[in-house]
């Protein structure tokens, strides 16, 4: 009898404990481009890895195409905690974490390999920590890609061809200053509005990596593409800091590891897109200037660069430029 009672008690306590052990937390993550993209791959892999690594205790619901809002709005939501996670380009990040502005300087990185090394090395890791005092846990740097220019008016062979073009820019003060230096008429705008703005001729052009141009089907509303490669565009996995702090030490590590695996997939897709992008976009009717004189574009920004050196410190810029 006593044994039975003990058994019953054990069963009861199991019944009580079991649901708690299986308790599941669902979180949200968003991107501004479609699922079939470098960013879509990133958050899909992240969601899968989090779920696997936590034995299904954490689920990550994925939202694409700005369905929860543009990048700035999603960062605001993560800061407030109404949304746990977002994977965003650094475009609107300086409005929240001013230290990140330096990363969006044109011609700062030689190529993707250089950018990845800086972001994954001490400079990038220090910068991830700057997010914490603003209510974010930045899990890892990802990649949006190397940005190129498109427009509906004319072939752009050199910086002079940019003068007077009305172009949508990200809501990023560094980009706006630099593109004004090219003589562009800048129109900052959230990404979900860009296709319609190009279609209706509110703006003549925009600039984005091949991955974004293809995912957003800008070839349908833009004739000319020039591989200006004028700026490297990082992405970053951002999480609400309080949501991250609530995790156990082991789960924190699972989230960080999941982000790492996701970034590898995200960057691999950018490489694939860059390899096939020109042929694919030509096939869709765009005319492409593949090898513009980059030195000329760089020279056009000399006055703006002097301004950046003052703002960010020449030593800080050089530390990134010279990183090996």
CA distance 177 to 181: 6
* Residue 218 burial (CB count, 10 A): 23
The answer to whether the beta carbons of residues 201 and 131 sit under 8 Å apart is no
Distance CA 75, CA 77 (A): 5
Instruction: Give the residue among 27, 21, 46, 24 at the shortest CA–CA distance from 35.
Output: 46
Binding to ligand EAX in span 24-63, by CB under 6 A: 32-33
**Contacts (CB under 6 A) with ligand EAX, residues 190-229:** 191, 208, 212
User: Cβ closer to ligand EAX: 32 or 222?
Assistant: 32
The β-bridge partners of 60 are 27
H-state helical runs in the chain: 2-21, 38-53, 71-80, 112-120, 122-129, 173-181, 194-200, 210-215, 241-245, 249-283, 294-300, 302-312, 314-321
Residue (41 or 254) nearer to ligand EAX, CB: 41
Nearer to ligand EAX, 170 or 254 (CB): 170
Closest to ligand EAX by CB, 30 or 54: 30
Distance of CA 212 to the CA centre of its chain: 11
Residue 91, interface with ligand EAX (CB under 6 A)? yes
Among 86, 89, 186, 226, binds ligand EAX (CB under 6 A): 89
186 is a site residue for ligand EAX (CB under 6 A): no
C-beta of 79 vs 233, nearer to ligand EAX: 233
Residue 35 and residue 44 in contact, taking contact as beta carbons nearer than 8 Å: yes
Cβ of residue 167: shortest distance to ligand EAX, in angstroms?
Answer: 11
Shortest Å distance, C-beta 311 to ligand EAX: 22
Q: Please state the closest distance from residue 201 (CB atom) to ligand EAX, in A.
A: 19
* Assigned token pair, 150: 């498109």
> Of 43 and 170, which has the nearer Cβ to ligand EAX?
170
Shortest separation between residue 144's beta carbon and ligand EAX, angstroms: 5
Q: CB of residue 208 vs ligand EAX: minimum separation in angstroms?
A: 5
- In the complex, least distance from residue 215 CB atom to ligand EAX, rounded to whole angstroms: 8
Residue reference for tokens 């020279």: 299
Q: Which is nearer to ligand EAX, 205 or 254 (CB)?
A: 205
How far is Cα 201 from Cα 42, in angstroms, rounded to an integer?
A: 32
- Distance (Å) of CA 33 to CA 43, 163, 219: 11, 29, 15
Size of the site for ligand EAX (CB under 6 A): 11
Report the residue number, 118 or 212, with the smaller CB distance to ligand EAX.
212
- Chain positions 121 to 140 lying near ligand EAX, rule: CB under 6 A, are none
Of residues 74, 86, 144, 226, which one binds ligand EAX by CB under 6 A? 144
Which residue in this structure is represented by tokens 């090898």?
291
Compute the least distance from the CB of residue 92 to ligand EAX, in Å.
8
- Contact pattern from residue 148 through residue 177 relative to ligand EAX, giving x for each residue in contact according to CB under 6 A and a dash for the rest: ----------------------x-------
List the one residue out of 148, 172, 157 whose CA is nearest residue 222: 148
Between helices 173-181 and 302-312, what is the axis angle to 10°?
Answer: 150
Say how far apart CA 235 and CA 143 lie, in whole Å.
5
Binding residues for ligand EAX (CB under 6 A): 32-33, 71, 89, 91, 144, 170, 191, 208, 212, 233
């Amino acid at each position: 009898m006593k044994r039975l009672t003990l058994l019953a008690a054990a069963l009861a306590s199991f019944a009580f404990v079991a649901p708690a052990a299986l308790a599941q937390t669902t979180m949200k993550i968003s991107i501004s481009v479609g699922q079939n993209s470098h960013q879509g791959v990133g958050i899909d892999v992240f969601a899968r890895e989090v779920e696997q690594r936590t034995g299904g205790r954490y689920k990550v619901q994925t939202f694409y195409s700005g369905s929860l809002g543009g990048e700035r709005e999603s960062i605001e939501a993560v800061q407030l905690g109404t949304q746990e996670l977002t994977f965003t380009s650094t475009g609107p990040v300086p409005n929240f974490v001013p230290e990140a502005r330096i990363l969006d300087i044109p011609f700062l990185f030689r190529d993707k390999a250089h950018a990845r090394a800086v972001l994954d090395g001490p400079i990038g890791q220090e910068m991830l920590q700057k997010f914490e005092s603003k209510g974010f846990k930045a899990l890892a740097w990802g990649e949006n890609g190397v940005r190129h220019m498109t427009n509906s008016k004319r072939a752009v062979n050199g910086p002079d061809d940019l003068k007077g073009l009305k172009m949508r820019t990200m809501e990023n003060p560094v980009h706006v200053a630099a593109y004004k230096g090219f003589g562009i008429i800048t129109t900052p705008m959230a990404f979900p509005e860009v296709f319609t703005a190009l279609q209706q001729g509110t703006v003549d052009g925009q600039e984005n990596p091949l991955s974004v141009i293809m995912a957003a089907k800008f070839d349908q509303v833009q004739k000319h593409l020039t591989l200006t490669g004028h700026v490297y565009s990082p992405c970053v996995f951002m999480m609400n800091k309080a949501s991250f702090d609530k995790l156990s030490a082991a789960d924190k590590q699972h989230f960080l590891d999941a982000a790492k695996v996701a970034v590898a997939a995200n960057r691999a897709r950018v490489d694939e897109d860059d390899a096939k992008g020109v042929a694919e976009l030509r096939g869709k009717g765009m005319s492409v200037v593949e090898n513009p004189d980059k030195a000329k574009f760089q020279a056009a920004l000399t006055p703006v660069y002097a301004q950046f050196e003052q703002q960010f410190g020449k030593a800080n810029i050089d530390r990134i430029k010279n990183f090996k």
